Each structure stands twice: as structure tokens, then as C-alpha cells.
Amino acid sequence: MPNQSLSTEQQYGQKRGTVQGNIYSPFTSKMDWEIARWSKLRGSGSTAFTDLLKIEGVAAALGLSYGSSQQFNAIIDEKRPGRPKFTRSEVVAAGEVFELYSRNIIECVRALFGDTDFAPYLFVKQVEADHPGATIIPILLSSDKTQSTMFRNKTAYPVYMTIGNIPKEIRRKPSRRVYVLLAYLPTSRLGHIKNKVAQRRSLANLFHKCLSFITAPLKQAGVSRIRIANGDGIMRRGYPIVACYIGDYPEQLLVTCVKTGWCPAGDVDHNSLGDGDSTCPKRNLAKILDALDKLDQGGGVYAKACADAGIKSVVHPFWENLPYTNIFLSITSDILHQLYQGVIKHLIEWLKESLEKAELDARCRCLPRNHNIRLFMKGISHLNRVTGREHDQISRFLLGLIIDVKLPGGLSPTRLLESVRGILDFTYAAQYPMHSTETLEATEAARMRFHDNKSIFVDLGVRTHFNLPKVHGMEHYCPNITQFSNLDNCNTENTERLHIDLAKDAYRSTNRKNEFSQMALWLERKEKILRHQQFVEWKARGSPLAPVIQDRHPGIIYDRTLTMAKHPTHTVKFTILETTYGAPFFQDSLSRYILGLLDPELSPAQIERDANSFDVPFNAVPVFQRIKFTVSDPYGSSTGPTESIVGSIHVQPLKQLKTGDKIPARFDTALINTGHGGNTGVAGYQIGQVRVVFTLSPHLARQILPSHIQPPQYLAYVEWFSAFKPNPERHHLMCKVSRVVRNGDRLASIIPVSNIRRSVHLLPKFGPVAPAEWKSHNVLDQCPVFFANPWTDKHIYTTLY
């Protein structure tokens, strides 16, 4: 069985520079430590910090143990351990010597596996027969050349790594520091090589030579294992193996040595990429390795063997001799670049070419506001350099823009709606945090819905073929989910954020000369400060043992906590509620609600009759202008669960600023539980527009209710939309709703705020042309018919679809 040694925190406390009784050591006091932390994590440059310390009396008044940045850095460098140091190596390629700054990959694995913050969550598969305590350590590598700065055209080429033993819920959070910067690769363009083909080949060789150097320790460790301790000090036998390589399409081609325009993982002809065939086989690794063995037989023989095997003639790809690694199985599907920056991007461009741009933009300006929707008030037709996040936002209302739209030549919009719905369903279903056979079948059915109807874009004249690698890549999603688990496990979005911290910010800390050595040193010092902060917080909590964490299933969190402000925003008279808030029947609705509380046995007809003679003895109530919804994230931080805001409902009348500008009124729509609504599906739910959120203070409640009847703490006046029909609309599969009107008046009532489950976005039914008088702030009042939008987030998607 695994044996126990000191925990990582205990070992850290025994390192040099620690003074008994001082948790901040080697800093002399809390003030000394916190200023040191500020200077590295939040403060200005080292020169400005030194200038500050030179001000007479500052260092003495603050009780600092350092008088300059140099002295402060010396304390960090000499007295505090951190993650593995960078080493400078020289790599020779194409007759040129390059600098490579890298870390020992085994030591990086030890640092992650042994981090105390991750100890309660680590996934370990122990083999109890021949090797007690043995476990696989899946290594996830990722690389992406990025622009370090807009000046002098500087670039950085970071390589990141993490391990699959740490749950993806933690790996997705940059603040948890689960990814380690493994190396800065050389960024030379090899401009001295004039032949472009030879230049690209040499760049590929340089990349693989660097990666071969970095991953070399895994060749032995992956076979003979290493002794490794987790944060609690439990020793295990670990087998570190490269399991996944995460990157965008160009990076995938570079890693697999496959030509541009071809599938990096599957063996399929370029001209067949758009067929939609789901039988694309993986590339034959044995055949490729046989081709790589022919390097000694001469360049011509080697080039032909590689071409026959379907790869470029790269000299010794880094994965050639890695144990238990099949690089073509290790290439992961990438939601950010393949779907949002690929398929969704293509789809938006096809729609812009197919439809009138002015009409698309006009419809964008008519969409109502919602917490999870970004409005493009200038439209989408003229956007350029659109980010993946923006493509994500556009996809959330894209289908609503094209319902009822006129197609050129009188073509039926049926196939257009079906194909767009197929892509959107695929995009959302592929991102489920948990999958089953049913969800995988639904994901594949959505992909085929697109392929079955994609000919509409040929008929519209915007496409002649669909042999696009990113469209083809959709075929690999379900097999990859089966192999790698869910795709939020290996999305490049997880590492995109790291470019800011580990490349761009690091570059800004340098003097722009020999920057990579300075960037590496800056990062090491920052990591040491963060590591010391972790230790200080642990000591301040009384040096607790790691908590025992029960298994948590990474699914969509359906339970949401409704949160209200501590105090009301205003106390508003009924007359203002009826006019400014658009709640003309507020007092009548309140009378009916109170009568229902007084006697729950009354029928609706009896309540309606008695309400005519019931007088509310006050004429104003305290109101709120926001309802917030939060979820608890058990993986939120190193110190325990955290809560994050996942939705809100605005209930705000027209507001005039001191400048004279006006902020339009906003009354959001919500999904309301009218009976026994469940976690998914619309049964038991109805949509309402929230016009007023208020409370009956104890003083007000006692005027109308006996002491044994306690009203709900928060109430809402809502105007109702029609109930959901048993089946959604054909082709676009969204639920249609409209205002409930009786005798020319909107049906409204007062409900407990606790019945409101979440906000819901409504897409107007525009008709052939969006009416000119419709605006974002008035469309909920002007438009008679809407569709419930299932795309605003994954939670509503599982509810409405």
C-alpha cells in the first residue's frame, strides 16, 4: 500500500528561511509580506517599486525587510522554493542555434500531483496486484504561438502542461494554477531559408526537436514508473504518459505532421471531408512508425514512405518513441477553435451571404435584453476580427434572426432552419459536462441534421462544397467524448487565458532585450509568491488536514439560489407602479393575493368577487430592481466552495440621468414554476414578464394579515404569456408563446418570487420584415408572438430542449 510522509505544506514549512512562530517568514511581518505580494501580483514595475522604497522613511515606517526591488528579489530567489526552474538549452536546427527555455517535465508532474490544494480531488487508479499504489498520470500538453505585444511584432510560443488526475472543474479555472508553463519555444521564422517549402519543413523539424528534448524524460518514466507523492504525503508509483495534445487546427497539423487541409487524426481524403460520413478511421500508427524508420535510407526514400503513410517527412517527431502514446488518438476536439471559430464562424458568413444584411442587422437591434445575451446594436454584418466569445454570443440568437426571413429565388426556408438548428444543437450537446448513450445519439443526430440539409447553401450560391477540416472535425466529437470524456476536459479556451498571464504580462515585465530569460525569471518569482501565499493561508487556518471530499459528479447544476438585495431600492406608491412600472392592475392583484392567503379554500371566482370590495390599507410598498441567481461551485477555490452569479432579472423603470440621458425601462421575462416543474422540460412552467418585485414588511403585513399568517418574504407582479404547447414548432423546434389577454387587458397576478426559477430570453417572431418601430427596449410590448430561446446558456438548453 502507499506509504505516508510529510505533506507538501509541512515540507514547505521546513525549507530554509522559515522562522519558528512567524507564518510569513522569510518576511518579518504581515505588512512586510503583503507589500511583497502586492509588488509582484498587483503592483507596478520593479523600477517604480524601488523609487517608492527610496522615499525617505517609507521602508522604516512600514517595517520592511528590503529597501529595493533587488533586495526583495534576492529574498524570493534564495529563501523560497517554487515550481521547477527554467533552464536554458541550445537546439540546433537548419544550421542555426536556438535558445530553448524549458522545465523538467517530470518535476512539473511532481509539482502538480503534489500540490496540497489538489490532494482531496486527485483521481488515482490503484493497481493492487503486482504494483500496489500504482497509478497512471495522464499528461495533457498544449501549445499555441501567440502575440506577446503589439510593438515590434514580438511573439511567444508557450507550451503548457497539466495532468488528468486533477478534475476538469479545477483545471478550467486559471486562478487555480493547474496548468504549468512548460517551455517557451524558439519563435524564429528562419528567414534565411528563402524556399518556403524548405522553411516550413525546417520550422516543423525545429518544433519537434524542441518537444523531443522536453518530453525525453517520459521515455523511461512512462515504462519503469516514478515514485511520486500527493499533497498529503502519500507515496505512489506513477506512470506519466502523454495522453492528450490540445491545440487549434494549425497546431494539430504541426504536431501530427499532417498536411494543411487534411484531417490531423483521421485517414480520409481531402475531397471527402464534407461527406458527413462517421466512419473516418484513425491514422495507422504502425504504418507511420514503419515509414519513420526509413530515415536512414536517404531523403528520397524517406519522403516517399512518409507521403505514402499520409504525413510530412519530419525528422523524428517527438512522439515517435514515447511509450503508450498514439498521437493520432491523442488529438482532442476543440470547442473554441473548431466550433465557435470554425463551424459557427462559417455558418454566420454563409447566412450573411444568403440574406439581406440590412434585415439581419435590423433584427439584431430588436432583440430584448437578457443577462446571458450580448446585444449587437449595430448588427453583425460588418463585424471583423470576431472572437470566439463573440461567435458564441451570436450563436445564442442566430436561429431567431432567420425565422420567416425571405430567401432569394423564393426558396423554402425549411432546410435553412433545419441545418442551422442542427449545428446549434451539435454545438450545445457536444459541450455537455456529462454524457450518456442518449446524449451522444442526440449529438450525432444533430450533426446529421446539418448534413441532410446543408444543400440549401449550395442552392443559395454561397457554397460549392463542404470539404472544410473544421466541419469534418465534427465527426470525431462523439468518438473523442467516448475516449477522453467530456470536451470541456480539453478545450483550448482553458489555455487561451494563460497567454495573458504567462506570455503577455511576462513580456511587459522585461526590458525588451533577451526577453525570454527575463520572462522565465519573472514567472518563477511570481509562482514563488503564489506558493508562499498558499502556505500562509494554510498556516492562518491552523494547518488543517486536507478535507475528505466525497465523489462529485461534474454535471450541469440545476439548483439555483435566489438572492435578493439586503435592503429594497425604493418605496414606491401604487400610482407609480401602475404607470411608470407598467403594472396597471397592481392593487387589484394584491387584493386577490391577500384574499387567497386569508382563505386558501376560496375559488378563483370567489376571490375575484370579494376583491372588488377589499381595500388595501396602504398605498406604497418597498420594491427591488434586481433578482440574482447563484450556484455553489464545490471546486471554486482552495479554501472551499464559492458562489457565482449565473443569472439575473432586471425590474427597472425608465431612468433619467443628471446629464439628461435616459436609460430605457427594462422588465425581464422569467421561467416560473406554476405547479410541479422539474429540473428539465417545460411541464409545470410558464413564462411571465416581471413588472414589480416587492416585499410586505412586517408593519404592512400586520395591517392586512393576522399574526399566524406569514406572507412570502418577496413577491412579484408578473404578466403572463401563454402556456407551453405539447410540441415545439416544426423545423426550428422552439416553443412559441404569446401574451395572455382577456377583455383587452394583459393577464397579471402576484406570485412568490421563490416560484421564479430563472430568466428566459424571448425571440420576437419578426415576420418577413422586422417592423421599423420595434426596438430592443419596447419589443416585448410591441411584438405579439415570441419563441422561447433555448440557447442563452447550457442550463436553459437542457430545460427547453
pLDDT digits (tens, 9 = 90+) for 406-431: 899 889 999 999 999 999 999 999 99
Residue 160 pairs in a beta bridge with: 142, 181
Asked if the structure places residue 475 within a domain, the reply is yes
Asked if the structure places residue 738 within a domain, the reply is yes
Nearest CA among 289, 318, 79 for reference residue 182: 318
Give the three-state DSSP class for 228: strand
**How far apart (Å, rounded) are the C-alpha atoms in residues 276 and 448?**
7
Nearest CA among 428, 779, 776, 719 for reference residue 581: 719
**How far apart (Å, rounded) are the C-alpha atoms in residues 616 and 588?**
9
Query: What's the DSSP call for residue 4?
Result: B
Residue 551: what pLDDT? 61
Query: Domain check: are 606 and 755 in the same one?
Result: yes
Residue 801: what pLDDT? 79
Query: Domain check: are 289 and 306 in the same one?
Result: yes
Phi, psi of 166 (to 5 degrees): -90, 130
Confidence of residue 752 (pLDDT cuts 50, 70, 90): very high
The rounded mean pLDDT for the chain is 90
Contact present, 690 and 627 (Cβ < 8 Å):
yes
Say which range, 37-51, 72-86, 89-103, has the weakest mean pLDDT.
37-51
Query: Domain check: are 144 and 186 in the same one?
Result: yes
pLDDT of residue 554 exceeding 60 = yes
Asked if the structure places residue 589 within a domain, the reply is yes
> What pLDDT digit, counting tens, does each position of 507-540 carry?
888 888 888 999 999 999 999 999 999 999 888 8
**How far apart (Å, rounded) are the C-alpha atoms in residues 49 and 557?**
45
pLDDT of residue 203 exceeding 50 = yes
**How far apart (Å, rounded) are the C-alpha atoms in residues 622 and 382?**
45
pLDDT of residue 785 exceeding 50 = yes
pLDDT of residue 161 exceeding 60 = yes
Give the three-state DSSP class for 244: strand
**How far apart (Å, rounded) are the C-alpha atoms in residues 265 and 474?**
12
Contact present, 267 and 282 (Cβ < 8 Å):
yes
Query: Domain check: are 537 and 569 in the same one?
Result: no
> What pLDDT digit, counting tens, does each position of 561-613 carry?
999 999 999 999 999 999 999 999 999 999 999 999 999 999 989 998 988 88
> What pLDDT digit, counting tens, does each position of 602-646 carry?
998 999 898 888 889 999 999 999 999 998 877 766 666 678 899
Query: Domain check: are 53 and 173 in the same one?
Result: no
Which grid cell sits at 767? Answer: 415576420
Residues 6 or more apart from 407 whose CB is under 8 A from it? Answer: 354, 355, 413, 416, 460
State the burial class of residue 34 (Cβ atoms within 10 Å of its Cβ: 0-12, 13-18, 19+).
middle
Residue 50: what pLDDT? 85
> What pLDDT digit, counting tens, does each position of 691-733 carry?
999 999 999 999 999 989 999 999 999 999 999 999 999 999 9
> What pLDDT digit, counting tens, does each position of 380-390 carry?
999 988 999 99
Asked if the structure places residue 398 within a domain, the reply is yes
Say which range, 72-81, 121-130, 739-748, has the weakest mean pLDDT.
121-130
pLDDT of residue 235 exceeding 80 = yes
Asked if the structure places residue 787 within a domain, the reply is no
Give the three-state DSSP class for 275: coil
Query: Domain check: are 735 and 618 in the same one?
Result: yes
> What pLDDT digit, counting tens, does each position of 650-678 carry?
999 999 888 888 899 999 999 999 988 88
**How far apart (Å, rounded) are the C-alpha atoms in residues 229 and 122?**
12
pLDDT of residue 20 exceeding 80 = no
Over range 535-564, report the average pLDDT: 80
Over range 97-101, report the average pLDDT: 93
**Got the DSSP string for 485-514?**
S-GGGS-THHHHTHHIIIIIHHHHTS-SSS
**Got the DSSP string for 276-310?**
--S--PBP-HHHHHHHHGGGGG-HHHHHHHHHHHT
- Distance from first CA to last CA of the chain, Å, rounded? 48
Query: Domain check: are 44 and 188 in the same one?
Result: no
> What pLDDT digit, counting tens, does each position of 427-464 carry?
999 998 888 999 999 999 999 999 999 999 999 999 99
Confidence of residue 3 (pLDDT cuts 50, 70, 90): low
**54 is in which domain, residue-wise?**
18-79+525-549
Residue 648 pairs in a beta bridge with: 628
Asked if the structure places residue 11 within a domain, the reply is no
Residue 635: what pLDDT? 75
Query: Domain check: are 281 and 247 in the same one?
Result: no
pLDDT of residue 43 exceeding 70 = no
Q: Helices 357-364 and 344-354 sit at what angle, rounded to 10 degrees?
A: 120
Where is mean pLDDT largest: 26-30, 308-312, 690-694?
690-694
pTM: 0.91
pLDDT of residue 365 exceeding 80 = yes
pLDDT of residue 79 exceeding 90 = no
Nearest CA among 352, 380, 348, 350 for reference residue 364: 380
- How many other C-beta atoms are found inside a 10 Å radius of the C-beta of residue 699? 8
Confidence of residue 1 (pLDDT cuts 50, 70, 90): very low
Over range 81-86, report the average pLDDT: 92
Residue listed under C-alpha cell 450573411: 352
Instruction: Compute the Cα dihedral for 291, 325, 139, 267 and give only its sign.
Output: positive
Residue 149: what pLDDT? 62
Asked if the structure places residue 115 within a domain, the reply is yes
Please state, for a pLDDT cut of 70, what percent of the chain lies above it: 95
**How far apart (Å, rounded) are the C-alpha atoms in residues 106 and 215?**
9
Phi, psi of 433 (to 5 degrees): -75, -15
Query: Domain check: are 262 and 190 in the same one?
Result: no
Confidence of residue 132 (pLDDT cuts 50, 70, 90): low
Instruction: Compute the Cα dihedral for 771, 773, 775, 781 and give only its sign.
Output: negative
**Got the DSSP string for 627-689?**
EEEEEEEEEEETTEEEEEEEEEEEEE--EE-TTS-EEPPEE-EEEEESS---SSSSTTEEEEE
**In this structure, which amino acid lies at residue 4?**
Q
CA distances from 41 to 38, 241, 533, 676 (A): 5, 33, 11, 50
Over its C-alpha atoms, the chain yields an Rg (Å, rounded) of 31
Number of structural domains (the chain) is 5
Which grid cell sits at 754? Answer: 421563490
Residue listed under C-alpha cell 495507422: 284
Query: Domain check: are 585 and 723 in the same one?
Result: yes
**Selected residue with higher pLDDT from 269 and 103:** 103
Asked if the structure places residue 794 within a domain, the reply is no
State the burial class of residue 382 (Cβ atoms within 10 Å of its Cβ: 0-12, 13-18, 19+).
exposed
Phi, psi of 451 (to 5 degrees): -65, -35
Query: Domain check: are 644 and 658 in the same one?
Result: yes
Nearest CA among 418, 485, 522, 739 for reference residue 86: 522
- How many other C-beta atoms are found inside a 10 Å radius of the C-beta of residue 325? 21
Query: Domain check: are 241 and 284 in the same one?
Result: no
Contact present, 47 and 53 (Cβ < 8 Å):
no
Confidence of residue 258 (pLDDT cuts 50, 70, 90): very high
Confidence of residue 503 (pLDDT cuts 50, 70, 90): confident
Residue 639: what pLDDT? 63
**How far apart (Å, rounded) are the C-alpha atoms in residues 380 and 638?**
41
pLDDT of residue 44 exceeding 80 = no
Residue 446: what pLDDT? 96
